[in-house]
Structure 1
């Protein structure tokens, strides 16, 4: 009689004993905690929130990140939510930048309403994923990233100007940490820089103002009052929501390869985006920006060779506990404004550099691509260098063209499509199967969007 053997468990579905699970979850927590902390503090400082409101916003952001990690790692199969891969969910730097831009121009209640609209919009367009992804080739994505970084440097710089000495000291501390740290610790350079800058502030006589309260508390919903819905003001976030589908496609392939599971973007990307959208509905309720799934922790997966999605699920639980532990959020909320501004400058400058790096990989030697980038940058930078030029336009046009990120991204999408269809012929790029001389179709170009399942 032949004994039946149990089917082998895939590494991504492996359960780990607690003695291994806990330290690995802490590693993933360290890889992901800098983004929610720095973004929440930046939002609170830019919007001049009180210490108590800042602590509540930090709490909400950490809790939402934890819920997002659970949604992506564990998933809800019946609802087709979550990819069941070791993902974290974090506030996207670009999403935070756009949220703050809307909040500064139209008020934080409108920014919260824009988050809710963008999340609902993302849920509605998911059935058309395969078609929409074609609107955001790398050329468009890289131009938008450059504009986001530059726009937010302008927003963050006045925060450093409120205390230049402390701000530049913080920049020096962050640079030092980037220089000396390695591995997962290097990902904490900005967070450690916030701590170092705060220490410098205390040593130079600046006393942090901390809120008071109990040990555990739930974050406050609708911190800016009832959300205000303005479709035109929401355009930048709607564009970002669409662009996030392209980013999720790359993240899915990267994560699947890291855990040894065949990549299936047509199946997984809509599930990832659905989880992003549902958690982002919570972001709109609790006053923070859109949440996006991140592969920041993939380096840890490759370093440890532990591919289990239950490690990031445990990291999600830890994020929720940290968010509800109010002494921690109150301490973080007390960081001085120039320190936060310096950290923000680094974050957004890095975003701009990433965009330039993406542009360097585009085929700018081809005339059409160079013109598309140049014209899109002109449209996106004009509101920064000459904001008064749109003063005489109708209000809807001022909203649309006065936002450098939205105007530049829309210009890049439209120009890219027009030049692709009507511009001069390019060298063959294999955007569709091409017959070879032997009559056998050539393979499709890498990055061609997969069919929707």
Structure 2
């Protein structure tokens, strides 16, 4: 009897090696949930208890989402080695909604958007053509700039605060960045891949030596904890307040589709877009829906673990199953979350500045997939970037506008994405029809060639 060999993505490995490689995935992506929680806590002035609970919930939900993506039960998850975490842009939007309407409304917006993912999924492929690389890349650049700005405040403090520009805080933040650069320069292979985490640990050690870290509460935290549901109280639902997240959801689904294709390429498995991308999005939606009831922002797939797969050549999805289990264990072990919550904000800020700086680069790389030598594309990108960056660089510029209008106008991500999408539709879809030119421009052809939905093997 001839048996069909297992595809490498479906291979089981010894438990010890799966745990080791799973821990590696965790180390690479751990800076994202830690920095996200610190940013939310600092921006909203959350108590230590709430911050610890939010961090524990983020780890547990990241683990559960990773299990869904890797195992793919009931067509939820693409059965690829994915790790999930609180997203970058959704964190900024969560903070923005919370600052304008209260944190319970922000939580309600996460729940509304998660449900919207599931409702909009059947028509998503029809709308994706309005969100090509030009639109998504512009949005990611704006997201990255916003995140770097928010992260920098963790190092410097906010202008007007008594401790703004504290030399010791600046030293810690810059030292953390310096450590990370040094590790990235010194090491190769896997160690280089976790240079961000090594820099984070080194910055924490320096903070301990400088006496700026207090781990006294670690012994009082007990051994086991469980994330508390609805930590901010009963969620409040406002469709208008949720608009920025709802707008972002289209770009997020497009990005997830691209990540599904890239992950399939990394493990050598053919991805059927119409089958696998909705499964990945479905897992993100359900994980985010659960996270909404535990106070977390939207959960998305991590791009870092795809790089780990490429570096190590370990393609088994059961490695990220191990990573998911490790994340869940971390979330339930109280001393670990207590230690993390005691790490000074400048150390987290230094790490976050680097991580989110890379987000800007990813946006630039995506923009390079468009025909940038086409003057129409450079005009669209320039206008969208200007409109999207203005409310980020000049806070409060729309204070005189009605509250409902400010919801959209003060969200640089939403303004940039909408501007890019509308201008793209006007110049690349409507204008050729008005001038009766059936031939697509070189810019349009380049964009469609780079869209994640294009798959030569799709049935």
The partner residue of 2:199 within 181, 193, 213 is 193
Is 1:399 matched up with 2:407? Answer: yes
The CA distance in 2 between the partners of 1:264 and 1:356, in whole Å, is 27
Is 1:61 matched up with 2:58? Answer: yes
The 5 Å alignment of 1:61-210 reads 61-77=58-74, 80-162=75-157, 163-208=169-214, 210=216
Bigger shift: residues 207-216 or 286-295? 207-216
Q: In the alignment, is the contact (CA less than 8 A) between 2:261 and 2:452 conserved in 1?
A: no
Question: CA 1:206 to 1:389, structure 2 compared with 1: closer, same or farther past 3 Å?
Answer: closer
The partner residue of 1:39 within 11, 36, 46 is 36
Is 1:309 matched up with 2:317? Answer: yes
* CA-CA distance at 1:34 after TM superposition: 2.7
Is 1:30 matched up with 2:27? Answer: yes
The partner residue of 1:300 within 294, 305, 308 is 308
The CA distance in 2 between the partners of 1:181 and 1:201, in whole Å, is 23
Bigger shift: residues 235-244 or 345-354? 345-354
Q: In the alignment, is the contact (CA less than 8 A) between 1:114 and 1:234 conserved in 2?
A: yes
TM-score normalised over the length of structure 1:
0.89
CA deviations 1:159-181 (Å, max 9, x no partner) are 22233333333332233233323
The CA distance in 1 between the partners of 2:86 and 2:191, in whole Å, is 20
The partner residue of 2:418 within 410, 419, 427 is 410
* CA-CA distance at 1:272 after TM superposition: 0.5
The CA distance in 2 between the partners of 1:391 and 1:86, in whole Å, is 45
* CA-CA distance at 1:316 after TM superposition: 0.9
Aligned to 2:345: 337
* CA-CA distance at 1:368 after TM superposition: 1.5
Question: CA 1:260 to 1:430, structure 2 compared with 1: closer, same or farther past 3 Å?
Answer: same
Bigger shift: residues 410-419 or 359-368? 359-368
* CA-CA distance at 1:408 after TM superposition: 1.2
The CA distance in 2 between the partners of 1:230 and 1:363, in whole Å, is 39
The partner residue of 1:346 within 354, 362, 376 is 354
Q: In the alignment, is the contact (CA less than 8 A) between 2:69 and 2:76 conserved in 1?
A: yes
* CA-CA distance at 1:332 after TM superposition: 0.5
Q: In the alignment, is the contact (CA less than 8 A) between 1:130 and 1:450 conserved in 2?
A: no
The partner residue of 2:386 within 362, 368, 378 is 378
Bigger shift: residues 268-277 or 297-306? 297-306
The CA distance in 1 between the partners of 2:389 and 2:445, in whole Å, is 31
TM-score normalised over the length of structure 2:
0.88
Q: In the alignment, is the contact (CA less than 8 A) between 1:68 and 1:89 conserved in 2?
A: yes
Is 1:427 matched up with 2:422? Answer: no
Question: CA 1:364 to 1:428, structure 2 compared with 1: closer, same or farther past 3 Å?
Answer: closer
CA deviations 1:130-170 (Å, max 9, x no partner) are 11221210000111111112223333333222333333333
Aligned to 1:438: none
Aligned to 1:271: 279
Q: In the alignment, is the contact (CA less than 8 A) between 1:95 and 1:289 conserved in 2?
A: yes
Question: CA 1:329 to 1:279, structure 2 compared with 1: closer, same or farther past 3 Å?
Answer: same
Question: CA 1:151 to 1:302, structure 2 compared with 1: closer, same or farther past 3 Å?
Answer: closer
Say which SS state the counterpart of residue 125 (structure 2) adopts: helix
CA deviations 1:101-128 (Å, max 9, x no partner) are 3233333222212211111111111111
The CA distance in 2 between the partners of 1:194 and 1:429, in whole Å, is 42
Say which SS state the counterpart of residue 216 (structure 1) adopts: coil
Q: In the alignment, is the contact (CA less than 8 A) between 2:53 and 2:228 conserved in 1?
A: yes
The partner residue of 2:253 within 245, 252, 270 is 245
Question: CA 1:157 to 1:24, structure 2 compared with 1: closer, same or farther past 3 Å?
Answer: closer
* CA-CA distance at 1:388 after TM superposition: 4.1
Question: CA 1:186 to 1:95, structure 2 compared with 1: closer, same or farther past 3 Å?
Answer: farther
* CA-CA distance at 1:446 after TM superposition: 5.1
Give the RMSD, CA atoms, in angstroms: 2.5
Q: In the alignment, is the contact (CA less than 8 A) between 1:190 and 1:343 conserved in 2?
A: yes
Q: In the alignment, is the contact (CA less than 8 A) between 2:39 and 2:150 conserved in 1?
A: no
Say which SS state the counterpart of residue 84 (structure 2) adopts: strand
Aligned to 1:447: 451
- Size of the aligned set, in residue pairs, is 437
Question: CA 1:311 to 1:158, structure 2 compared with 1: closer, same or farther past 3 Å?
Answer: closer
CA deviations 1:232-279 (Å, max 9, x no partner) are 332222122211221122212222122222121110010100000000
The CA distance in 2 between the partners of 1:300 and 1:153, in whole Å, is 24
Is 1:234 matched up with 2:242? Answer: yes
Aligned to 1:435: none
